[in-house]
Amino acid sequence: MERSQTVTQKFSSFSSSSSSSSSRDDKPREIDRSRSLGPVKLEKSYGKKERDTETVTIEEEDEEERQEEEEVEVVVVVNKEEEASSAPEEPPEASFGSISEEVDGFLSFLLSIDDGRDQWPETPAMPESTIKKFLDFVEEELVKYESGKDGASRPANDELVLFNAIDRVAKLTSALSIFSSDTKYNKAMTRASSILRYAMCFLEDEFHSLLEDSKPKKDPGIARPKTKRRPSIGHLHEAIDRCVPPPSEPDLVEFPSTYPPEIIERLRGIAGAVVSAGYATECCQVFTIARRNAFDVALSNLGYEKLGVDDVQKMPWDSLEAKIATWIKVFRQTVEVAFPREHDLCEAVFAGHSAIAYSIFHNFARGVTILLLGFAEAVAMTKRSAEKLFKVLDMYETLRDMVPRIDALLRTESEPDDSSAAHDLTTEVALVRSRLGEAAVAIFCDLETSIKTDMGKNAVPGGAVHPLTRYVMNYLKYACEYKNTMEQVFRDHKNSENPSSQLEDAAKGGSDDNHNPFAIQLMEVMELLHTNLESKSKLYRDPALCSIFLMNNGRYVMQKIKGSTEIHQLLGDTWSRKRSSEMRQYHKNYQRETWSRVLACFKDDGLQARGHVAKPVLKERLKSFNAMFEEIHKAQSSWVVSDEQLQSELRVSVSAVIVPAYRSFLGRFSQYLDPGKKSGKYIKFGPEELENYIDELFSGNPSSMVSRKRT
């Protein structure tokens, strides 16, 4: 009876502070590690000090009395032996297992009469002694459990016994309330309720400590996400024909999702005890906050920084580009690695409580996803510029690729085809992805504006490839590496502007290239580029150089298309044949403008009069040829044809026309010139020498025949 009073006093302060709340489920308790156990721990410590003081005083008094009683000690021993021999033997003390069985039997009895308690005229007898012993044991075990310094060294079976005992306390508290009007029942219920609340506060603190202090188990099987190598397209006139590799990425840091098996086992035991006692809300709050804190630390270790919309809007592109790369890495690893691990952890800790596990995981996944989506949405809202296209598309693809994984993790077994939680979150992702797609469409369409506004009045020296051509074709090449994605965003954009077009495409059995919005946009860009180059070619006064300029740019375009399967598929063979025909026409125009006058020198017309060769006319023809060829060589050797194949084709075609005609002309008329030094005045080049000079054309290095001959 004294022990019962002690326990009642021990929990009286905690009970009175808790009695103002009739139900723990009516108002969730604040999770405050410094407050939840404070009153209980202080009271327990105070009680411990009082007991220690009383023990010392009693020992001093016993020492004095011991000296006085030495004389009668023998008599007392003899009397005790006589009393022991005459008294009946006491039964052995019952084990906790047997006590628990008796409590379980009493609980079953109370629960069985709950529905028909009105039929019981009197309150059924309560095994006070058994309940007292049971509650005494739970109290002692809780004190031992809390005083233990190394929880990991505690046998797992002891914890299991304690958790089962706490579960019985919870059931006992509820069952005793059936006859709470009875004084004995009410007294037992009050004590059981106090012990239960104390146990919940302590287990809550232990649960939090395990989640926060236990180091996660590292998992080496983590895959590095694959990222595309994309160039950083700079100013419109500064594009180059190579892919700039991105800076090396730092090693990935794992998300802390996996604890050692022994820690998970303890977490599962605590969670089961707390949830069964009716404190599921508090347990879920502790777990959710601890795991979210761990995730935030992991984000920081990965280099991810939480940024607001204003921060993203004001950030320079170089810095934002690096942030986007980090975001892509973080988002993929979150969905592919962190979410599955977190899902498994929730299932393991809250085993047997699938609804709670699902709710915790869903809230975690939603909170994290919304956080990461905020950055993507801010990027979609930034000012449009051409260099942002590829990173925006990377973000779009990341969201698109991760949606099935998110949907699979959130879709419940009971609702495999229609999970509202999965639908809600994937809808959020789809909305942000749509905004990124719209941004990508707008950026690509701005390429038309860039081409139209590039109206420079300075011709490129030597008729070389124009920087605009290089920029546009490099841009298209890299953009078309995202062919499927670009087709998707343009199709979505078309359907959003004209919903009926989606039905039309479906009626036609899909969208072919003739109705592919991206392919149509690409052709418009190519036509604008062609028109712009035609306009720029008119900046050259020499018609032949105008043709060289168009050939250079046309060949560059064709080579880029030939090197990109995606562009060729989008433009089609018809477009390519048309451009090849235009290239042949440019070639013919060049030959006509440059070499038709030269070939006129080799005609027989006007050289013969009355059956004789007119030497003055012959000499004048040769002098005219020499002058024209020297002028052509001087000018066109400085012209630029960077494509080696085109350069070779031009030289071969010129040689094939000029050299044979020149050789034939000399064979027919050189004999009519006076032999000796004077003939060299008119015949300056031999056929082979003429061919060598032709091979110097289009090299971009102006040279003088006169200076070469002198040397």
CA dist 620 and 461 (Å) reads 34
pLDDT in the model for residue 412: 64
State residue 147 phi and psi, 5-degree precision: -75, -15
* 3-class SS of residue 613: strand
- Whether 64 contacts 232, CB under 8 Å: no
* 3-class SS of residue 183: helix
* 3-class SS of residue 54: helix
- The Cα angle at residue 688 between residues 685 and 693, in degrees rounded to 5: 70
For 534, left (φ over 0), alpha (ψ -120 to 50), or beta? alpha
Residues 6+ apart with CB under 8 A from 544: 589, 590, 593, 594, 636
Fill in the DSSP letter of residue 121. Answer: S
In the 3-class helix/strand/coil scheme, how is 404-467 assigned residue by residue? HHHHHHHCCCCCCCCCHHHHHHHHHHHHHHHHHHHHHHHHHHHHHHHHHHCCCCCCCHHHCCCH
Closest Cα to residue 269, out of 166, 149, 136?
Answer: 166
Residues 6+ apart with CB under 8 A from 451: 468, 472, 525, 528, 529, 532
State residue 609 phi and psi, 5-degree precision: -135, 120
Tell me, what amino acid is at 455? M
- Token pair for residue 584? 């042949």
Closest Cα to residue 665, out of 691, 683, 688?
Answer: 683
Handedness of CA 524, 525, 528, 529 (dihedral sign): negative
State residue 612 phi and psi, 5-degree precision: -120, 150
Residues 6+ apart with CB under 8 A from 262: 152, 156
pLDDT in the model for residue 128: 81
Tell me, what amino acid is at 574? T
Residues 6+ apart with CB under 8 A from 478: 230, 231, 233, 390
Query: Does an H or E element contain 609, and which?
Result: strand 608-609
Residues 6+ apart with CB under 8 A from 55: none
Residue reference for tokens 């990027």:
379
309 by Cβ neighbours in 10 Å (0-12 / 13-18 / 19+) ranks as: middle
CA dist 631 and 153 (Å) reads 99
- In the chain (711 residues long), the average pLDDT of successive 10-residue segments reads 36 34 37 35 36 42 51 40 46 70 81 62 77 86 73 61 85 82 84 88 90 63 43 44 40 61 91 91 94 91 90 94 95 92 93 92 94 96 94 96 89 58 86 96 94 91 95 96 96 81 49 76 96 95 96 96 94 93 96 94 83 86 93 94 94 95 91 72 90 94 59 43
Packing angle, helices 128-147 and 156-176, rounded to 10: 140
**Which residue spans within 65-145 are E strands per DSSP?**
none
- Whether 277 contacts 353, CB under 8 Å: no
- Token pair for residue 111? 């629960």
Produce one character per residue of 564-601: b if its CB has 16 or more CB atoms within 10 Å, e if not.
bebbbebbeeebeeebeebbeebbebbbebbbeebeeb
Residues 6+ apart with CB under 8 A from 363: 288
CA dist 93 and 316 (Å) reads 79
In the 3-class helix/strand/coil scheme, how is 339-383 assigned residue by residue? HHHHHHHHHHHCCCCHHHHHHHHHHHHHHHHHHHHHHHHHHHCCC
How many angstroms from the chain centroid is the CA of residue 632?
60
- Whether 550 contacts 537, CB under 8 Å: yes
- Token pair for residue 152? 């990991």
CA dist 204 and 676 (Å) reads 117
Residues 6+ apart with CB under 8 A from 559: 643
pLDDT in the model for residue 258: 73
Task: Tell me how crowded residue 317 is: count the other CB atoms within 10 A of its CB.
Answer: 15
CA dist 580 and 554 (Å) reads 8
Residues 6+ apart with CB under 8 A from 384: 439, 442, 443, 446
- The Cα angle at residue 156 between residues 207 and 136, in degrees rounded to 5: 80
- Whether 14 contacts 194, CB under 8 Å: yes
pLDDT in the model for residue 289: 94
Torsion of CA 193, 196, 200, 203, to 10 degrees: 170
